[in-house]
Structure formats: structure tokens, C-alpha cells
A = this chain, B = another copy of it.
Amino acid sequence: MNGAESLVKTLLASGVDVCFANPGTSEMHFVAALDAHPQMRCILCLFEGGATGAADAYFRMTGKVAATLLHLAPGFGNGFANLHNARKARSAVVNIMGDHASYHLAYESPLKGDTAGISRVVSHWTKTCEAASFVAVDGAAAVTAAQSMGGQIATLILPANTAWENADAAAVSAAPAALRRPTIDRVRAAAQTLQTKGASLMVDGLALRGSLALLAAKIAKKSGCALLAPFFVSRIQRGAGAVKFQRLAYVVEENSAVLKDQTSIVLCGAKRPANFFAYPGKPSLPEPAGCAIYDLCEPEMDYAWTLHALADELGAHHITLGNEELQPLALPALPSGAMSLQKVGEAIAALMPENTVVVEEAITSAGAMALATRHARPHDWMMIKGGAIGGGLPMSIGAAVACPDQKVLCLSGDGSAMYTLQALWTMAREQLDVTVVIFSNRGYQILRGELANVGVTDVGRNAVRMLDVAEPTLDWVALAKGHGVAGIRVRDAGEFVSAFQGAMKQKGPFLIEVMC
């Protein structure tokens, strides 16, 4: 067995059986090894950002590590933006990056680059294999590193000679170290704080869905505090039966308004809220002056245990939740007439099936979608947690591979979708059940607003030409067709309803371009 084979066996033995790949020359032995192990599902992406975004979403939906296979430094660079999103989402991802044979690095070849350097900028864990006989142990350590601290980016650099030289047995990843916990004294102090006037509990991560979200809601109800969640989430449960969170906002003033009556914020698995960007004369932080921040449990600590301990302390476990805390089911009527974002949202709310996985990168169109769907059938909602554009289409790949029996709905701005449109091809190749809705406003709509925010209202040619995606307008139906995905352009609400109804009834990829 060579090093590459020992790595594939190690990944499989460690529970990693999906690999989103965009290989190059230096990874050919690894490709050969994958070829000999059909139990590893290899999914080709035509751009590395597709592979990294897919691995991120795969983890968010399954809690399982996927591998990516990336070409040496520039290839990793292509995957960087979605690794940034994955890092912020605390997703566990193992990247396998090829490199030149170690002895070849003495010479200047075109593709020689700083593989470890670019990895370290975004990975929590980076290791360059030193010999074929170490590949198995290093691969197992990469899986453990990815699974540690609640989810990390681990990158194993595989010089070509460590892939082709002889190796011994495969290895199996060890369980990650136990997560740190706050002291019980700190839990008690937090429980006291939560019962004071104007207190709030802010959660994130796994506490935005399922039993942990319900537990957080019980804690909030018992203690009488507000229950906060960030604006950018990795994955949140929404629709009927989902916990009502007070979500923070993107716009500075709206963010401040959400927190205006808070006297304290207890953080449990959440980072201290901060505005997305700073602006002249506006605050970086959304909470009012004097609001106390109580950092009970960092996101990389054991916030599940901590929520249970808080509930114990407050006697909240047996609280009954009702309409005050949970979203009702209330489906809107199907809209008709002229196009509006609200109507698109209503149609989606009325028609999307239970357990739809919504991948949302719709930026300025997102608010209307979120509002309209809050009482829809139960569904999951994912966002670009790191704010890096180009996550939506790739994440949809990962979600669909993770959840083959659930409909994936990708809501994307046209500007955003252009960053990684190659992901459409992988949807066609793998016949993934993804409906893509492109909001075609022919520009970076959010930047038009941001330019006004910095005081420019009389816009000239240079600015218009940097913020508009027009002249020519993109034709998303043609772009989809080019990648092997069928699509339709819709101009009014009735056309959208008809197209979306059809998409919900079929399996496989389909694209709807909404002219808005």
C-alpha cells in the first residue's frame, strides 16, 4: 500500500466517506487510491470553491466530516472564501491539499507556492506530511482536529512522494478531546443574571435547532429573559414548531433597535454581537451603553452541557412551550399579479415541502423571504456564516448530498451566484434535488445601499459601472443550460408560482430566474 491508499483507508475507517474534489497533477496518486475504494463517494466540482462550500454544508446538515481534495497553493486559494465561511460556521472539514514531492521543492517550478502558508491563514490545523509512513497517522489526526472544539478546518498537505511511497497500515481517528465547560459557579451567576430585568440569553450553533433550541426557549421562558440569535447563522430551524428567536440585524440601526432595552446579554455558545461593518459615526457594537456582557460559554466550549446546567439551575426542564415561544403553521395564499419579493416569499412559503433545506445568499432579497416563510412548514435555513459571497450554490451541493430525501432550495442574488456558478454543473452531474432561485436585480444591490450609506447619492459613471451587473444583463436560463441545468425566467407572480410548483414536484436541479 502507498501513502495515498493508507490515507483513503484511514479516512474511511474514521467515518469520512464523502470527498468533494477538484484534483490536479500532484494529487493523481490520491485519485488512484480513491478509484480503488468505491465506498468513498467522490464528487467533482469544476472550481475549488464549489468543493469547500459543499463540505461546509455537508457538515452543517449531518455533523459528519467531509473531505475536500484540492490542488496545491493556487487551488487552495480558489477554495479559500468558502473555507472562511466554514471556519466561521465552525464546520468540521478535512482538506487534502497536494504538493510537490518534498525533494522537488528545492527547485523553482511554476506551481511551487506556500502551501502551508495559505492553509494557516484559514485552517485551525495544518500539517505537511513528512513521509509516506506517517500519512495514516497524520490523516487520522486531521479528522480528530476537524472534530475538535466543536468543528474546525484541518488541512493535511500531502507532498506527492508521500502519496506514492510505501506506507504501512491505515489508522483510525481518535475521539476529540472533551470540550471545556464553565464552572458551576459561573452557571449559577448566569442564571441569576438571566432573571434580572432586561436580561437576555444569546445562543448560536446547535442551539438554534432541535432539542437544544427548545431547551434555550425553556430557559428564557422560566427566567423571563429575551432569547437572542445572531443575524448570520450557520443553520437555524424555522417554520412551524420552531423556536421564536429575536434575531439580530444587518443594518446598524436595526441591530441597535433589537437590543435597545437590554441591560445584560448572557452569551452561551455565541460570540459577542458586533455590527457587520463599521461606518463613520456609527457604533461597532449594537448593545446600549451600560449593557453587561456575560460570556458564559464560548462557542468552542461545551455549550450543550452549559444549557442543560442552566436549565437545571433554573428548574426550566419541565416548562411547557406554547404559541408565545414557537412559530405556528400559517401558509399564505398563492400570489398572483405583478412581481414583488413579498409575493415570491409567499409562494415559497405556501409550496415548499416539510424539511426543505433553504440555502440563502439572497442578500437584499433575503429579508422578504425570511419574513414570508416564518410560518411555513418546518424547514432548515443556512447562510454564509462568514459573509463571504459565493457560498450559496456550493453549499446547496453539500446539503443535497447530505440529505438526498429533502428538497434543497437555494435562494441567491445574481451578483452572489456569479462567484461560484460552476456549482450548477455538479448539481446536474449528481442529479441533486436543488431548486435554485436567482433574484435578478442586475447589480450588487447591497453595495448601492452601502454607497448611499457613505454619503454618495449623486452617482457617476465609475460607481454605476462597479455596482451594476447590466450592459449586458446576465441570462441565467442560458447559464444554467450551459451547465446542464434546466431553467426558466419568470416576470410575474403567477409565472413564479407555476415554475416553483413544478420544481417542487420534480426531483433534480432546476433554476428559476426571478426578474425583480
Contacts and interface: CB of A to CB of B under 8 A. Distances in A.
A463 B164 contact: no
A172 interface: no
Contacts of A459: 35
Contacts of A46: 415, 418-419, 469
Interface residues on A, range: 35 or more
Given A478-B481, A481-B475, A34 B80 contact: no
A232 interface: yes
Given A108-B271, A390-B78, A34 B482 contact: no
Contact of A451 (B32, B88, B480): B32
Contacts of A284: 101, 103-104, 106-107
A104 B283 CA distance: 9
A35 B108 contact: no
Contacts of A84: 73-74, 77, 113
A31 interface: yes
Interface string A35-66: 11110101010110100000000000000000
Nearest to A231: B110
Interface string A187-226: 0000000000000000000000000000000000000000
Given A34-B462, A77-B81, A482-B479, A425 B47 contact: no
Nearest to A455: B32
A185 interface: no
A494 interface: no
B81 A81 contact: no
Given A421-B421, A429-B472, A29 B454 contact: yes
Interface stretch (A17-25, A348-356, A400-408): A17-25
A109 B462 contact: no
A257 interface: no
B111 A386 contact: yes
Interface in A388-431: 388-390, 415, 418-419, 421-422, 425, 428-429
Contacts of A120: 117
Residue from the set A35, A88, A101, A459 with the largest chain B CB neighbour count within 10 Å: A35
A472 B450 contact: no
Interface string A455-469: 110011111011101
A77 B74 contact: no
Interface string A262-273: 000000000110
A78 B81 contact: yes
A451 B28 CA distance: 6
A276 interface: yes
7 contacts: A25-B277, A35-B456, A42-B462, A77-B80, A78-B419, A117-B120, A478-B479
